[in-house]
A = this chain, B = another copy of it.
Amino acid sequence: VTPVAQGVPQASPRRPGGPLTPRGDRDWPTRGIGSRSFNPLVERLRGLGLSEAALGPLRSLHAEVRNIPAGGPIIREGEVAARLHIMLEGWSCRYTSVDSGRQSTAFLLPGDICNLDALQDMRLPYGVNAMTACKVAVLRIDEVRRAATGQAELAWALFRLACDDNRALVHRAACLGRRPARARLAHLICELQARSAAAGIDVGGSFMLPATQEELADLLGLTAVHVNRVLQSLRADRLVTLQLRWLTILDWDALATIADYAPDP
């Protein structure tokens, strides 16, 4: 075997210490319940320009906060979800199992609602898994429904959120169906960079990417091995750096070109 000199720093899978909880802890018996009386759904909707008056009925709702260790389930697939889950901290992914593995349909970041459609039908066609240690707000669906009853502005805002989800899915489907692996990965990187920046958790062109290569593969409709290879090629082309679960974009323009990435304004 030739001692390949890549020229680009290789990824070292484990960071010595950092913001990310190690993946090893697959023991999630303790989901610490730190219940307070604050409500992230209110914050999320306020961000959409909802009036304080419209938010009123939600205020009284009690949100439980759950801590889920990395790798733990937030929502089990096929579960009848009696609760609405909202990401507070950490990353998770929404996935659907098919015969040959799983397909992720979204990465969920702080502020994202895991199972919005459970308000309409509690039988979910997907599961949600924590990719890092997560803090998740949990509200009882029946309570949310009750609070929303007769609240037109609120219902309209939820409709809005569902439409947003919709667009993201349309986009993802288009990528999965018609784009080669390199473009898909490049696009994902651009997208996550933008989302991290929007969430204010990036650091000048760099951001934390806690996903395993296998988790990336699940989202991209590829295998982990192939994600690895494509990633290597992006590294070789000096487009990105990924080490210690921290991704840096070296050449945004080139990457965006490959990705055919267009941020929506």
Contacts and interface: CB of A to CB of B under 8 A. Distances in A.
Given A117-B163, A120-B163, A221 B176 contact: yes
A159 B152 CA distance: 11
Given A117-B167, A120-B160, A102 B178 contact: yes
B167 A170 contact: no
Interface of A: 96, 98-103, 105, 116-117, 119-121, 125-126, 148-152, 154-156, 158-160, 162-167, 169-179, 183, 220-221, 260
Interchain residue pairs A-B with the least CB separation, the first 4: A177-B221, A155-B155, A162-B162, A169-B169
A29 to B, nearest CB: 30
A179 B126 contact: no
A26 B155 CA distance: 42
A62 B44 CA distance: 35
Contact of A179 (B98, B116, B154): B98
Contacts of A163: 116-117, 119-121, 162
A172 B96 CA distance: 11
Nearest to A124: B167
A98 B166 contact: no
27 contacts: A98-B174, A98-B178, A99-B179, A99-B183, A103-B173, A103-B177, A105-B170, A117-B167, A119-B159, A120-B159, A121-B163, A125-B167, A125-B171, A126-B170, A148-B156, A151-B152, A152-B154, A155-B156, A162-B162, A162-B165, A165-B166, A169-B173, A173-B173, A173-B176, A176-B177, A176-B221, A177-B221
A56 to B, nearest CB: 14
Contact of A174 (B96, B117, B150, B160): B96
Contacts of A159: 119-120, 155-156, 158-159, 162
Nearest to A117: B163
B152 A105 contact: no
Given A101-B178, A155-B155, 11 more contacts: A96-B170, A96-B174, A98-B175, A99-B183, A100-B178, A102-B178, A105-B174, A149-B152, A158-B159, A169-B169, A178-B221
